[in-house]
Amino acid sequence: MLRSSNPILSKQDAFTPAAPQYNQNPYGQPQAGYPQYPGSPQAPVQAPEGRMTLDDVVTKTAVTMGVLVIAAALAWRFVPDALYFPALIASGLIGFIVVLFVAFRRNVSPGLVLLYAGIEGIFIGMISKIFESYYSGIVVQAVIGTFAAAGVTLAAYKFFNIRVTPKFRKVVIIGTIAFAVALLINFVLALFGVNLGLRDSGTGAISLLAVVFSLIGAGLAVLNLVLDFDYIEQGVAIGAPASESWRGAFGLTVTMVWLYIEILRLLSYIRR
């Protein structure tokens, strides 16, 4: 059984190869001690589930990202100006809840994965339009930067034969949890008018702490991409069930969204 330290992909039963069907050996013949006679009743045997492949993960990731992009474009186009910030806050909170719900389910649900993509698309559409209103062209730059960073990370992972060790996983997961907790604390305090300086408003003076925090966030997102690539590669290697391709697509989508937001913020600091 394969386990991961990635917050999205770490499930006890994730990427576990399907067991042989009852009353069958691996070659599909009846087991010894259970002879079958013509006309004798047999228990129904379900068709074995297909195995996870890299092409399957790529296809499902493309579908998930496509839903996200369409939702972002529709939100950008049709959400009225007066509802920008309510839509931003609501989609961000609901998206976070859906992430937790999907991550802790025993079996991944394609419907919930696509639901997350739609809700997160609204969040991305809103935050992108806000930044674009201050810095023309920044969204295109952030999209290019996000896919460039992901591509370079994948190339480095493959060509330099990067191996994910238990210590590496532990460091990344602890850093990711600490980052998320800091963001949550900063958000709650901001509701009461307390500013820790971890997130810059995007229009005033640049906070050095905000820049450092975004750099840390972008770095952690890249390291989580490495965990995603390693986990998917291992899942394909051991013949995980085909349904687990959705979990891989979900993990990649969550990490890419995180990376995009951090790059968007960093570009806004540079533009100022």
Q: Has residue 19 been placed in a domain?
A: no
Question: Would you say the C-alpha torsion 200, 204, 207, 211 has a positive or negative sign?
Answer: positive
Q: Has residue 212 been placed in a domain?
A: yes
Domain that holds residue 223: 54-271
Q: Has residue 43 been placed in a domain?
A: no
Q: Has residue 67 been placed in a domain?
A: yes
Cα(63)–Cα(114) distance, rounded to whole angstroms? 8
242: alpha, beta or left? (left if phi > 0; alpha if psi -120 to 50): alpha
Q: Has residue 258 been placed in a domain?
A: yes
- Count of domains observed in the chain: 1
Q: Has residue 7 been placed in a domain?
A: no
Cα(272)–Cα(114) distance, rounded to whole angstroms? 36
Q: Has residue 49 been placed in a domain?
A: no
Cα(35)–Cα(199) distance, rounded to whole angstroms? 69
**Sequential pLDDT tens for the chain (272 residues):** 444 445 555 544 444 444 444 444 444 444 444 444 444 445 444 445 578 888 899 999 999 999 999 999 999 999 888 888 888 889 988 988 888 888 788 788 889 999 999 999 999 999 999 899 989 999 999 999 999 999 999 999 988 888 888 899 999 999 999 998 988 888 788 778 777 777 765 555 667 888 888 899 999 999 999 999 998 998 888 888 888 889 899 999 999 999 999 999 999 988 87
Q: How far apart are the first and last CA of the chain?
A: 49
Q: Has residue 23 been placed in a domain?
A: no
